[in-house]
Structure 1
Amino acid sequence: MKVLVTGAGGFIARNLRVVLNEGGRFEVLPVTRETDEAALEGMVARADAVVHLAGVNRPKDPSEFATGNRDFTAHLCELLAATGRAIPVAFSSTIQVDRDTPYGQSKHAAEERLLAYAAATGAPVAIYRLPNVFGKWGRPDYNSAVITFCHHIARGLPIRIDDPAAVVRLVYIDDVVAELRRWLDAPAETVGFPEIAPVYTATVGELVEQIRAFGQVRDNLVTEPVGTGLVRALYATYVSYLPVESFRYRVPLHGDARGVFAEMLKTKDSGQFSFFTAHPGITRGGHYHHTKTEKFLVVKGLARFRFRDILTDETYTVETSGAEPTIVETIPGWAHDITNIGDDEMIVLLWANEIFDRERPDTVASTL
């Protein structure tokens, strides 16, 4: 399928073009500000569908709203109609179409041109009235406040907040692209106003507070809950605007005669991750927990784990190696230790179900 994408150099189009180029199903026909009339006409003649993302939202001259939004859309519709084919069009409009502003008026006028095109040709038209869109590959100080906040906070630059209590509605770029991709696979047969889902709602102050918290993990190692929902999308956006020199950061390394130990990441509700090393013949551990549990994974070397039930003195021993990845769990009420029984350094990954608390360590020394 040949998909003509207007505004091909813009924020949404950058993300869409990458996805459409994955898998070989689509050929993108990109239209930018530099595309001349002859090239535009040629691409329209070849197109099987159009994703109309071009638009003006921050012009130097307000008259550019009309020319960039209304007039360009009208011209595009004329070219599409001239092909004699009912070419489907998806259009990125805005929730501001009902506002009495030059931008809102120009977008509303563009919608009217597309609706007239649909009525005249029978072409399917999908009009997406988008709220604030955020994600990777945007332009700070241009595309969205979230993008600007992420870019500036990632660099320690000041940000401007006019009203922390202002409520904003947001959609994530990957969800926008997924919906456009879905529409291209099966365009509706009629005119419609489909919506992007999910739509997130938050105050400006809440967004800024959350974005700032992402940077704190490098100091306290405690991650935000970045696996789902708005926080997941915000985190992906934040790290996408990190400068390259911030792609890495160091964590404290603690060493003694036995080897080294380092914490990697802590979570607010699911424990922490760390690793340690042990020289040949070295034993670590020699304690038990009342509630804390752990998972050990030897990634290099040969290990012997010993367990003892502190009530019954029942014992258990298991050997694992980096050659055959095996998780060994510690059990509350069982004393345990781990010994490097190989000839080389042993490296072990460790997950504990809670963050270590020096005031309540739940770690009691006990011989095996």
Structure 2
Amino acid sequence: MIAGRTPRRVVITGADGFIGRNLALRLAELGDVVLPLTRSSTSVAWHAAVAEADAVVHLAGANRPADPADFDAVNAGTATLLVTALEAANCAVPVLYASSTRASGDDHYGRSKRAGENALLDYGKRSGNPVYVLRLPNVFGKWARPNYNSAVATFCYNIARDLPITVNDPAAPLRLVYIDDVVTTLIAVLDDRPAAGFTEVAPIYTTTVGAVAETIRGFRADRADNFIDAVGAGLTRALYATYVAALQPADFSYEIASHRDPRGAFSEMLKTRSAGQFSYFTALPGVTRGGHYHHSKTEKFLIVHGKARFGFRHVLTGETHEILVEGETPTIVETVPGWAHDVTNIGDGVMISLLWANEIFDRTRPDTIAAKV
């Protein structure tokens, strides 16, 4: 909860759905009180919750009902029920409605979503209360139901379990919006109260079904090879978070190879295709590791446990340099092309070091030339 902030009472219809659960969590983090309504909630419960509300977020909807009549009963019917409850309460509160980009179409689903929009927008005109309509494309992210909410959820669920996926047309266009961006927009509207009407959610990612499927397949394959994609920004970041959220608890951890010899152990933790790789190694007391130089490769060492002496010698001039570090004072030691270097455990126990190299080790071109310091 944010200090000095007055908690809001926010009604969320469809609170147990994909968007609802994500929004409820974020609102709780802010200290707001969520008044949840679900399909099991009675009309009396809707009226009671709305009467207490400072704001209403209408998320209840049907995407793939067994009976097409449920499109009207849920998508249009719940909007009508909400309007009835709002008018009965005679309350001045903002109303946010998560509609769909398909509301502009003429299929049964689109017509039912558009009917829900019209019911709420008409209520806004009559009452003067601000009504916001978000026409969302395919929403994806954590807690989306496979085989229901989106193809992304299905791909993530199946690929994480080594199950097959079906891609009928890899070139089929796909417009996506990430759940965190949807929730951020909803909260921003609640906070800032912009002009009522249709409200945009950004960013919207334009891609294809095949590209999304291949990206998620890549996450699965990369994990087995200790690789990681460029998962720090944009669509790939969002897809990776969605894929990891689909993992079973038994897959939360996985072993990596450990190469052991009398000096200690060495393991490659993570490899990237454009920013090198991360490893760690251990050294027993008195052990020296290294004793080589590089022409282009650079490395960063971080001793996280124990004491170490790094030695350097310029391979042409013979100039030497020494650095003493210990785990209690985190210090990055960087190797420099053209300088031979080694590291010695000068402590009484096992030394542990993290290591980043700016390139993945290539046995055919190792750029590692043996040379004493």
TM category (shorter chain) comes to over 0.9
Distance (whole Å) between structure 1 residues aligned to residue 54 and residue 347 of structure 2: 64
Name the counterpart of 1:305: 310
Does residue 86 of structure 2 align to residue 86 of structure 1?
no
Shift of 1:23: 3.0
Does residue 249 of structure 2 align to residue 244 of structure 1?
yes
CA deviation map 1:75-112 (0-9, x unaligned): 21121022222321110000101221110000011111
Match of 1:64 among 50, 60, 70: 70
TM-score (structure 2 length as normaliser): 0.97
Shift of 1:35: 1.1
CA deviation map 1:287-344 (0-9, x unaligned): 0001111000111111000000111101001110111111111011100000011111
Shift of 1:263: 0.2
Distance (whole Å) between structure 2 residues aligned to residue 353 and residue 254 of structure 1: 21
Name the counterpart of 1:109: 115
Does residue 354 of structure 2 align to residue 354 of structure 1?
no
Name the counterpart of 2:43: 37
Distance (whole Å) between structure 2 residues aligned to residue 295 and residue 16 of structure 1: 41
Name the counterpart of 2:234: 229
Name the counterpart of 2:19: 12
Does residue 304 of structure 2 align to residue 332 of structure 1?
no
| Deviant stretches of 4+, over 6 Å | none
Secondary structure, aligned partner of 1:21? helix
Shift of 1:217: 2.0
Does residue 109 of structure 2 align to residue 123 of structure 1?
no
Shift of 1:218: 2.4
Name the counterpart of 1:196: 201
Shift of 1:40: 1.4
> Which blocks of at least 5 consecutive residues in structure 1 are unaligned?
none
Q: Is the Cα contact below 8 Å between 1:301 and 1:344 reproduced in 2?
A: yes
Give the letter for the 1:54 counterpart: A
Does residue 284 of structure 2 align to residue 286 of structure 1?
no
List aligned pairs for 1:148-159, cutoff 5 A. Answer: 148-159=154-165
Q: Is the Cα contact below 8 Å between 1:115 and 1:191 reproduced in 2?
A: no
Secondary structure, aligned partner of 1:171? strand
Give the letter for the 1:284 counterpart: R
Q: Is the Cα contact below 8 Å between 1:151 and 1:242 reproduced in 2?
A: yes
Shift of 1:221: 1.3
Name the counterpart of 2:4: none
Distance (whole Å) between structure 1 residues aligned to residue 30 and residue 207 of structure 2: 35
Match of 1:367 among 342, 350, 372: 372
> Which blocks of at least 5 consecutive residues in structure 2 are unaligned?
1-7
Match of 1:74 among 73, 80, 90: 80
Distance (whole Å) between structure 2 residues aligned to residue 178 and residue 23 of structure 1: 12
Q: Is the Cα contact below 8 Å between 1:127 and 1:192 reproduced in 2?
A: yes
Distance (whole Å) between structure 1 residues aligned to residue 154 and residue 271 of structure 2: 28
Number of equivalenced pairs = 366
Give the letter for the 1:308 counterpart: R
Q: Is the Cα contact below 8 Å between 1:300 and 1:347 reproduced in 2?
A: yes
Name the counterpart of 1:255: 260
CA deviation map 1:116-168 (0-9, x unaligned): 10110001011000000000011110011000100010001111112111010
Name the counterpart of 1:270: 275
TM-score (structure 1 length as normaliser): 0.98
Using the TM superposition, name which of 224-233 and 32-41 deviates more.
Answer: 32-41
CA deviation map 1:48-77 (0-9, x unaligned): 110000011111111111111112201211
What percentage of residue pairs aligned between the two structures are identical? 57
Distance (whole Å) between structure 2 residues aligned to residue 226 and residue 235 of structure 1: 6
Match of 2:145 among 139, 145, 152: 139
Q: Is the Cα contact below 8 Å between 1:7 and 1:31 reproduced in 2?
A: yes
Distance (whole Å) between structure 1 residues aligned to residue 11 and residue 127 of structure 2: 18
Secondary structure, aligned partner of 1:233? helix
Name the counterpart of 2:10: 3
Distance (whole Å) between structure 1 residues aligned to residue 77 and residue 156 of structure 2: 34
Q: Is the Cα contact below 8 Å between 1:85 and 1:121 reproduced in 2?
A: no
Does residue 142 of structure 2 align to residue 163 of structure 1?
no
Name the counterpart of 2:323: 318
CA deviation map 1:230-278 (0-9, x unaligned): 0000000000000111111111110111111000001111110000111
